[in-house]
């Protein structure tokens, strides 16, 4: 059987057009004297987090969203973080609050999520509050209706990539690899709402390959470099690679072995230039949405 070359799903390009749309909406908000503002809480000196925050600041500036960064020393205690969230929750000039994750390891997972869950759902532009995550399952599916809350940025970006490439997802068989609160779980819920038939695989899944063989769409968010090889995926597959890893030689790679898989499947998002820019554009979209809802 001949092997083709996959269509690249270009997140950089798609994010650019999304940012253009957000820029127009922000300009409209300014006519109502509303300047969307994102507050970011950054704790400790985790270099990748500092880089991600810089990317977010740059993207915000480009579309006209203002940012304020609350940078805490690693020694900060939980009560101080709670107090910051409380103050931002009640500051009417702040439309969105983002707690940059992960927090330093001295905080347990439960403590980390307690900071995120303290953010008012109406300002949770990262879409990680349980109220917002639950709304994905229970909303009526109307895009961006107030009752839909906020959708987590990475899955929202992945869905946008899939819809841009495929159009309607109804009836397709989608396999999501990974069930994290940030990516996999909300991704599976979003795809279900989009009328795909969803299989959610994770580290305890038996025989991952068996599920992949019948997939039309595969979203990979396992956090393991080059986990997915060409022989495990069908030719018809459209693949979204969420993983991002720095190799020893300094290059970036995803959870998919891009060189071999892209020579086989129908379409694939690259790393870098796939999901990453879409995550940031989705965040800007959510901040803009929060400001629009404040009118």
Rounded Cα distance between 100 and 45, Å, is 12
Least separation, in Å, of the C-beta of 140 and ligand NAD? Answer: 27
Out of 223, 257, 260, 273, the only residue in the binding site for ligand NAD (CB under 6 A) is: 223
35 burial type by CB count under 10 A (0-12 exposed, 13-18 middle, 19+ buried): middle
Number of CB atoms found within 10 A of residue 293's CB: 12
233 near ligand NAD (CB under 6 A) = no
Least separation, in Å, of the C-beta of 3 and ligand NAD? Answer: 25
Closest to 280 measured CA to CA, from 35, 38, 24, 34: 38
Contact track, ligand NAD, 259-278, x by CB under 6 A: ----------------xx--
Least separation, in Å, of the C-beta of 201 and ligand NAD? Answer: 5
154 near ligand NAD (CB under 6 A) = yes
With CB under 6 A as the contact rule, which of the stretches 88-96, 104-112, 122-130, 240-248 interacts with ligand NAD? 240-248
Rounded Cα distance between 100 and 181, Å, is 14
Rounded Cα distance between 194 and 232, Å, is 25
With CB under 6 A as the contact rule, which of the stretches 1-9, 29-37, 88-96, 198-206 interacts with ligand NAD? 198-206
Out of 36, 184, 186, 270, the only residue in the binding site for ligand NAD (CB under 6 A) is: 184
Residue closest to ligand NAD when measured from CB atoms: 180
What are residue 256's DSSP bridge partners?
228
Residues recognised as catalytic: 56, 100, 126
203 near ligand NAD (CB under 6 A) = yes
35 near ligand NAD (CB under 6 A) = no
- Using CB under 6 A, count the residues that bind ligand NAD: 24
**Residue 146: C-alpha distances to residues 9, 80, 122 (Å):** 30, 31, 9
Q: How far apart are the first and last CA of the chain?
A: 57
Out of 97, 103, 112, 208, the only residue in the binding site for ligand NAD (CB under 6 A) is: 208
DSSP 129: S
Contact track, ligand NAD, 164-183, x by CB under 6 A: -------------xxxx-xx
- Sign of the dihedral defined by the CA atoms of residues 266, 203, 44, 281, in that order: positive
244 near ligand NAD (CB under 6 A) = yes
DSSP helix/strand/coil, 286: helix
Judge contact between 38 and 96, C-beta under 8 A.
Answer: yes
Contact footprint for ligand NAD (CB under 6 A) = 154, 177-180, 182-184, 201-203, 205, 208, 221-224, 227, 242-244, 275-276, 279
């Amino acid at each position: 059987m001949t092997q083709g070359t996959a269509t690249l799903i270009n997140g950089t390009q798609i994010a650019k057009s999304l940012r253009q749309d957000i820029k127009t909406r922000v300009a409209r908000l300014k006519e109502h004297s509303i300047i969307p503002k994102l507050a970011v809480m950054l704790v400790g000196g985790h270099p990748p987090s500092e880089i991600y925050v810089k990317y977010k600041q740059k993207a915000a500036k480009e579309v006209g969203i203002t940012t304020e960064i609350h940078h805490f020393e690693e020694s900060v205690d939980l009560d101080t973080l709670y107090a910051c969230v409380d103050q931002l929750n009640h500051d009417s000039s702040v439309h969105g609050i983002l707690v940059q994750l992960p927090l330093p390891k001295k905080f347990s997972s439960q403590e980390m999520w307690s900071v995120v869950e303290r953010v008012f759902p109406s300002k949770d532009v990262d879409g990680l509050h349980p109220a917002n995550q639950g709304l994905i399952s229970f909303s009526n599916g109307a895009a961006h209706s107030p009752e839909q809350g906020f959708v987590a940025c990475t899955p929202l970006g992945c869905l946008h990539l899939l819809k841009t490439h495929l159009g309607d997802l109804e009836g397709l068989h989608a396999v999501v690899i990974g069930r994290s609160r940030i990516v996999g779980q909300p991704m599976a819920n979003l795809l279900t709402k989009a009328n795909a038939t969803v299989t959610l695989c994770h580290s305890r899944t038996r025989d991952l390959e068996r599920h992949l063989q019948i997939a039309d769409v595969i979203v990979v968010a396992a956090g393991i470099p080059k986990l997915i090889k060409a022989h495990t995926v069908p030719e018809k597959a459209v693949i979204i690679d969420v993983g991002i890893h720095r190799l020893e030689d300094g290059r970036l790679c995803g959870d998919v072995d891009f060189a071999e898989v892209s020579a086989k499947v129908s379409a694939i998002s690259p790393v870098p230039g796939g999901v990453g820019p879409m995550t940031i554009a989705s965040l800007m979209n959510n901040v803009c949405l929060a400001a629009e809802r404040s009118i």
